[in-house]
Amino acid sequence: MSTAPMTQTELLTDLEQVVEENLNRHLSVAKEWFPHEYVPWSEGRNFDGVLGGEAWTVEDSQISDVARSSLIVNLLTEDNLPSYHHEIASLFGRDAAWGSWVHRWTAEEGRHGIAIRDYLLTTRAVDPNQLEQLRMDHMASGYQSAHSQDLVRSLAYVSFQELATRVSHRNTGKLTNDAVADQLLTRVAADENLHMIFYRNLLGAALELSPNQTMIAINDVVSTFQMPGADISGFQRKAVEMAIAGVYDLRQHRDEVVMPVLRYWKVFEVEGLDSEGEKARGDLANFLDELEKQALRFEDKRDALQARMAARAG
Ligand SMILES: [Fe+2]
Ligand SMILES: [Fe+2]
Protein backbone atom coordinates (compact mmCIF):
# COMPACT_ATOMS: atom_id res chain seq x y z
CA MET A 1 0.00 0.00 0.00
CA SER A 2 1.29 3.46 -0.73
CA THR A 3 0.63 6.74 0.99
CA ALA A 4 -0.78 9.68 -0.96
CA PRO A 5 1.74 12.49 -1.43
CA MET A 6 1.00 15.77 0.34
CA THR A 7 -0.18 18.63 -1.87
CA GLN A 8 2.00 21.72 -2.39
CA THR A 9 -0.39 23.75 -0.25
CA GLU A 10 -0.25 21.25 2.60
CA LEU A 11 3.52 21.20 2.43
CA LEU A 12 3.80 24.99 2.34
CA THR A 13 1.55 25.27 5.36
CA ASP A 14 3.12 22.46 7.34
CA LEU A 15 6.68 23.64 6.68
CA GLU A 16 5.98 27.30 7.42
CA GLN A 17 7.16 27.03 11.02
CA VAL A 18 10.41 25.32 9.94
CA VAL A 19 11.00 28.04 7.35
CA GLU A 20 10.56 30.69 10.00
CA GLU A 21 12.95 28.99 12.42
CA ASN A 22 15.55 28.50 9.75
CA LEU A 23 15.16 32.01 8.38
CA ASN A 24 15.81 33.35 11.89
CA ARG A 25 18.72 30.99 12.27
CA HIS A 26 20.11 32.15 8.94
CA LEU A 27 19.75 35.83 9.84
CA SER A 28 21.51 35.26 13.15
CA VAL A 29 24.56 33.55 11.62
CA ALA A 30 24.89 35.38 8.26
CA LYS A 31 27.55 38.10 8.59
CA GLU A 32 27.04 41.36 6.75
CA TRP A 33 29.69 41.92 4.10
CA PHE A 34 30.36 44.49 1.40
CA PRO A 35 31.28 43.41 -2.11
CA HIS A 36 33.22 46.64 -2.85
CA GLU A 37 35.73 45.82 -0.12
CA TYR A 38 36.84 42.73 -2.03
CA VAL A 39 37.60 44.47 -5.32
CA PRO A 40 41.09 45.94 -6.00
CA TRP A 41 39.72 49.08 -7.65
CA SER A 42 43.15 50.74 -8.04
CA GLU A 43 44.08 48.06 -10.59
CA GLY A 44 41.26 49.15 -12.89
CA ARG A 45 41.48 51.27 -16.02
CA ASN A 46 39.19 52.32 -18.85
CA PHE A 47 38.38 50.02 -21.71
CA ASP A 48 38.29 50.91 -25.39
CA GLY A 49 35.04 52.14 -26.90
CA VAL A 50 33.09 55.04 -25.43
CA LEU A 51 35.88 56.18 -23.07
CA GLY A 52 38.73 55.48 -25.47
CA GLY A 53 40.76 53.35 -23.07
CA GLU A 54 42.65 50.19 -23.85
CA ALA A 55 41.09 47.08 -25.30
CA TRP A 56 41.32 43.87 -23.28
CA THR A 57 44.03 41.42 -24.23
CA VAL A 58 44.79 38.06 -22.70
CA GLU A 59 48.14 39.43 -21.47
CA ASP A 60 46.23 41.74 -19.12
CA SER A 61 45.68 38.84 -16.75
CA GLN A 62 47.97 36.31 -15.10
CA ILE A 63 45.30 33.72 -14.38
CA SER A 64 45.16 30.46 -16.31
CA ASP A 65 42.64 29.77 -19.08
CA VAL A 66 40.85 27.18 -16.98
CA ALA A 67 40.59 29.55 -14.00
CA ARG A 68 39.17 32.12 -16.42
CA SER A 69 36.62 29.62 -17.72
CA SER A 70 35.62 28.72 -14.16
CA LEU A 71 35.18 32.33 -13.17
CA ILE A 72 33.01 32.91 -16.23
CA VAL A 73 30.87 29.84 -15.59
CA ASN A 74 30.45 30.77 -11.92
CA LEU A 75 29.52 34.35 -12.72
CA LEU A 76 27.08 33.44 -15.51
CA THR A 77 25.46 30.99 -13.12
CA GLU A 78 25.01 33.77 -10.57
CA ASP A 79 23.81 36.12 -13.33
CA ASN A 80 20.75 34.06 -14.09
CA LEU A 81 19.29 35.08 -10.73
CA PRO A 82 16.08 36.59 -12.17
CA SER A 83 15.14 33.16 -13.49
CA TYR A 84 15.98 31.46 -10.19
CA HIS A 85 14.03 34.11 -8.31
CA HIS A 86 11.07 33.47 -10.56
CA GLU A 87 11.31 29.75 -9.88
CA ILE A 88 11.35 29.98 -6.11
CA ALA A 89 8.95 32.93 -5.86
CA SER A 90 6.40 30.95 -7.93
CA LEU A 91 6.89 27.87 -5.82
CA PHE A 92 7.39 29.24 -2.29
CA GLY A 93 5.13 32.26 -2.68
CA ARG A 94 5.95 35.72 -1.38
CA ASP A 95 4.05 35.60 1.90
CA ALA A 96 5.23 35.35 5.48
CA ALA A 97 8.47 33.48 6.21
CA TRP A 98 8.57 31.81 2.78
CA GLY A 99 8.43 35.23 1.12
CA SER A 100 10.99 36.74 3.47
CA TRP A 101 13.37 33.92 2.59
CA VAL A 102 12.77 34.35 -1.16
CA HIS A 103 13.65 38.03 -0.99
CA ARG A 104 16.55 37.72 1.41
CA TRP A 105 18.09 34.86 -0.57
CA THR A 106 17.69 36.82 -3.81
CA ALA A 107 19.46 39.83 -2.29
CA GLU A 108 22.35 37.67 -1.11
CA GLU A 109 22.72 35.96 -4.47
CA GLY A 110 22.62 39.34 -6.19
CA ARG A 111 25.67 40.33 -4.17
CA HIS A 112 27.60 37.36 -5.59
CA GLY A 113 27.14 38.43 -9.19
CA ILE A 114 27.98 42.06 -8.35
CA ALA A 115 31.16 41.16 -6.48
CA ILE A 116 32.50 38.67 -9.01
CA ARG A 117 31.77 40.94 -11.99
CA ASP A 118 33.41 43.95 -10.32
CA TYR A 119 36.47 41.86 -9.56
CA LEU A 120 36.73 40.41 -13.07
CA LEU A 121 36.39 43.75 -14.85
CA THR A 122 38.65 45.68 -12.50
CA THR A 123 41.44 43.14 -12.74
CA ARG A 124 40.86 42.54 -16.48
CA ALA A 125 40.68 38.83 -15.76
CA VAL A 126 38.25 38.16 -18.62
CA ASP A 127 37.35 39.55 -22.04
CA PRO A 128 34.59 42.03 -21.11
CA ASN A 129 32.90 41.91 -24.51
CA GLN A 130 32.77 38.14 -24.54
CA LEU A 131 31.53 38.11 -20.94
CA GLU A 132 28.68 40.47 -21.80
CA GLN A 133 27.74 38.50 -24.92
CA LEU A 134 27.71 35.28 -22.94
CA ARG A 135 25.61 36.91 -20.22
CA MET A 136 23.05 38.16 -22.74
CA ASP A 137 22.92 34.80 -24.40
CA HIS A 138 22.59 32.90 -21.14
CA MET A 139 20.01 35.17 -19.51
CA ALA A 140 17.98 35.55 -22.69
CA SER A 141 17.42 31.80 -22.78
CA GLY A 142 16.32 31.89 -19.13
CA TYR A 143 16.53 29.02 -16.72
CA GLN A 144 13.92 26.50 -15.82
CA SER A 145 14.67 23.84 -13.27
CA ALA A 146 13.76 20.29 -14.19
CA HIS A 147 11.85 20.26 -10.90
CA SER A 148 9.89 23.51 -11.03
CA GLN A 149 6.32 23.21 -9.80
CA ASP A 150 7.34 20.49 -7.35
CA LEU A 151 8.21 21.78 -3.91
CA VAL A 152 9.93 18.73 -2.44
CA ARG A 153 12.01 18.03 -5.56
CA SER A 154 13.01 21.68 -5.70
CA LEU A 155 14.07 21.69 -2.05
CA ALA A 156 16.12 18.56 -2.64
CA TYR A 157 17.68 20.04 -5.77
CA VAL A 158 18.72 23.33 -4.17
CA SER A 159 20.18 21.52 -1.14
CA PHE A 160 22.69 19.84 -3.45
CA GLN A 161 23.00 22.76 -5.84
CA GLU A 162 23.95 25.31 -3.16
CA LEU A 163 26.62 22.95 -1.85
CA ALA A 164 27.87 22.27 -5.39
CA THR A 165 28.14 26.02 -5.94
CA ARG A 166 30.08 26.36 -2.71
CA VAL A 167 32.59 23.73 -3.84
CA SER A 168 32.89 25.30 -7.28
CA HIS A 169 33.48 28.85 -5.96
CA ARG A 170 35.94 27.65 -3.35
CA ASN A 171 38.03 25.63 -5.78
CA THR A 172 37.88 28.32 -8.45
CA GLY A 173 39.34 30.73 -5.90
CA LYS A 174 42.26 28.39 -5.27
CA LEU A 175 42.78 27.80 -8.98
CA THR A 176 43.23 31.50 -9.73
CA ASN A 177 46.44 31.62 -7.65
CA ASP A 178 45.35 35.13 -6.78
CA ALA A 179 44.92 35.93 -3.10
CA VAL A 180 42.35 38.65 -3.80
CA ALA A 181 40.15 36.38 -5.96
CA ASP A 182 40.54 33.57 -3.49
CA GLN A 183 39.43 35.78 -0.63
CA LEU A 184 36.36 36.95 -2.54
CA LEU A 185 35.33 33.47 -3.65
CA THR A 186 35.85 32.08 -0.17
CA ARG A 187 33.47 34.76 1.09
CA VAL A 188 30.88 33.88 -1.57
CA ALA A 189 31.30 30.17 -0.83
CA ALA A 190 30.51 30.82 2.84
CA ASP A 191 27.13 32.29 1.77
CA GLU A 192 26.41 29.27 -0.42
CA ASN A 193 27.06 27.03 2.57
CA LEU A 194 24.47 28.85 4.65
CA HIS A 195 21.98 28.58 1.78
CA MET A 196 22.64 24.85 1.62
CA ILE A 197 22.02 24.52 5.37
CA PHE A 198 18.69 26.34 5.08
CA TYR A 199 17.41 24.09 2.30
CA ARG A 200 18.90 20.95 3.78
CA ASN A 201 17.09 21.57 7.08
CA LEU A 202 13.84 22.25 5.27
CA LEU A 203 14.06 19.10 3.19
CA GLY A 204 14.95 17.20 6.38
CA ALA A 205 11.64 18.38 7.84
CA ALA A 206 9.83 17.32 4.64
CA LEU A 207 11.37 13.88 5.00
CA GLU A 208 9.81 13.55 8.45
CA LEU A 209 6.49 14.97 7.31
CA SER A 210 6.09 12.94 4.14
CA PRO A 211 8.85 10.32 3.96
CA ASN A 212 7.81 8.38 0.86
CA GLN A 213 7.17 11.42 -1.29
CA THR A 214 10.45 12.94 -0.14
CA MET A 215 12.48 9.77 -0.69
CA ILE A 216 11.14 9.54 -4.24
CA ALA A 217 12.05 13.20 -4.79
CA ILE A 218 15.58 12.72 -3.43
CA ASN A 219 16.19 9.76 -5.72
CA ASP A 220 14.87 11.65 -8.76
CA VAL A 221 17.01 14.68 -8.01
CA VAL A 222 20.25 12.84 -7.22
CA SER A 223 20.00 10.59 -10.24
CA THR A 224 19.36 13.45 -12.70
CA PHE A 225 21.45 16.21 -11.10
CA GLN A 226 22.79 18.92 -13.38
CA MET A 227 24.46 22.19 -12.46
CA PRO A 228 22.26 25.26 -13.09
CA GLY A 229 24.87 26.58 -15.56
CA ALA A 230 24.69 23.45 -17.70
CA ASP A 231 23.01 25.37 -20.53
CA ILE A 232 25.72 28.04 -20.79
CA SER A 233 27.04 27.90 -24.33
CA GLY A 234 30.19 25.78 -24.43
CA PHE A 235 29.49 24.51 -20.90
CA GLN A 236 30.26 20.85 -21.54
CA ARG A 237 33.79 21.56 -22.74
CA LYS A 238 34.38 24.02 -19.90
CA ALA A 239 32.99 21.52 -17.38
CA VAL A 240 35.49 18.89 -18.51
CA GLU A 241 38.40 21.33 -18.18
CA MET A 242 37.13 22.41 -14.76
CA ALA A 243 36.83 18.79 -13.65
CA ILE A 244 40.40 18.00 -14.70
CA ALA A 245 41.60 21.12 -12.87
CA GLY A 246 39.77 20.06 -9.68
CA VAL A 247 37.10 22.77 -9.61
CA TYR A 248 34.18 20.39 -9.76
CA ASP A 249 34.44 16.73 -10.66
CA LEU A 250 32.51 13.53 -10.12
CA ARG A 251 34.59 12.56 -7.07
CA GLN A 252 33.84 15.90 -5.42
CA HIS A 253 30.23 15.69 -6.52
CA ARG A 254 29.81 12.31 -4.86
CA ASP A 255 31.98 12.72 -1.76
CA GLU A 256 31.62 16.41 -0.96
CA VAL A 257 28.11 17.21 -2.18
CA VAL A 258 25.79 14.22 -2.51
CA MET A 259 26.96 12.00 0.34
CA PRO A 260 27.25 14.59 3.16
CA VAL A 261 23.70 15.81 2.49
CA LEU A 262 22.27 12.29 2.27
CA ARG A 263 24.08 11.40 5.50
CA TYR A 264 22.64 14.45 7.21
CA TRP A 265 19.13 13.33 6.22
CA LYS A 266 19.95 9.77 7.33
CA VAL A 267 18.15 8.51 4.23
CA PHE A 268 19.26 4.94 4.78
CA GLU A 269 17.89 4.92 8.33
CA VAL A 270 14.40 6.26 7.64
CA GLU A 271 11.84 3.72 8.85
CA GLY A 272 8.31 2.87 7.81
CA LEU A 273 8.58 3.54 4.08
CA ASP A 274 5.93 2.06 1.81
CA SER A 275 6.84 -0.02 -1.23
CA GLU A 276 7.34 3.01 -3.49
CA GLY A 277 9.49 4.73 -0.90
CA GLU A 278 11.60 1.59 -0.45
CA LYS A 279 11.96 1.23 -4.20
CA ALA A 280 13.17 4.83 -4.50
CA ARG A 281 15.70 4.24 -1.73
CA GLY A 282 16.91 1.05 -3.42
CA ASP A 283 17.28 2.90 -6.72
CA LEU A 284 19.19 5.63 -4.92
CA ALA A 285 21.59 3.08 -3.40
CA ASN A 286 22.19 1.57 -6.85
CA PHE A 287 22.75 4.99 -8.33
CA LEU A 288 25.31 5.84 -5.63
CA ASP A 289 27.21 2.62 -6.41
CA GLU A 290 27.23 3.56 -10.08
CA LEU A 291 28.37 7.09 -9.22
CA GLU A 292 31.26 5.61 -7.25
CA LYS A 293 32.33 3.59 -10.29
CA GLN A 294 32.08 6.65 -12.50
CA ALA A 295 34.13 8.68 -10.01
CA LEU A 296 36.85 6.00 -10.00
CA ARG A 297 36.89 5.92 -13.80
CA PHE A 298 37.15 9.69 -13.88
CA GLU A 299 40.08 9.65 -11.44
CA ASP A 300 41.92 7.06 -13.55
CA LYS A 301 41.43 9.05 -16.74
CA ARG A 302 42.43 12.32 -15.08
CA ASP A 303 45.56 10.80 -13.54
CA ALA A 304 46.58 9.30 -16.89
CA LEU A 305 46.02 12.64 -18.63
CA GLN A 306 48.01 14.54 -16.00
CA ALA A 307 50.86 12.01 -16.25
CA ARG A 308 50.95 12.46 -20.04
CA MET A 309 50.94 16.25 -19.65
CA ALA A 310 53.74 16.10 -17.06
CA ALA A 311 55.80 13.83 -19.33
CA ARG A 312 55.32 16.24 -22.22
CA ALA A 313 56.26 19.24 -20.05
CA GLY A 314 59.35 17.44 -18.66
FE1 LIG B 1 25.53 32.52 -5.30
FE1 LIG C 1 23.42 30.35 -2.95
- Residue 55 Cα to ligand 2 midpoint, Å, equals 33
- Residue 75 Cα to ligand 1 midpoint, Å, equals 9
pLDDT for the residue 146: 86
Dist CA 231 CA 141 (whole Å): 9
- Residue 275 Cα to ligand 1 midpoint, Å, equals 38
- Residue 78 Cα to ligand 2 midpoint, Å, equals 9
pLDDT for the residue 144: 87
Q: Where are the beta strands (DSSP E) in the chain?
A: none
Query: Residue 225's CB: how many other CB atoms inside 10 A?
Result: 18
192-216 pLDDT per residue, tens: 999 999 999 999 999 999 999 999 9
Give how far Cα 136 sits from Cα of 119, 129, 142, 232, Å.
Answer: 19, 11, 10, 11
Residue among 265, 297, 293, 298 at smallest CA distance from 281: 265
122-180 pLDDT per residue, tens: 999 999 999 999 999 999 999 888 888 899 999 999 999 999 999 999 999 999 999 99
Dist CA 2 CA 273 (whole Å): 9
- Residue 311 Cα to ligand 2 midpoint, Å, equals 40
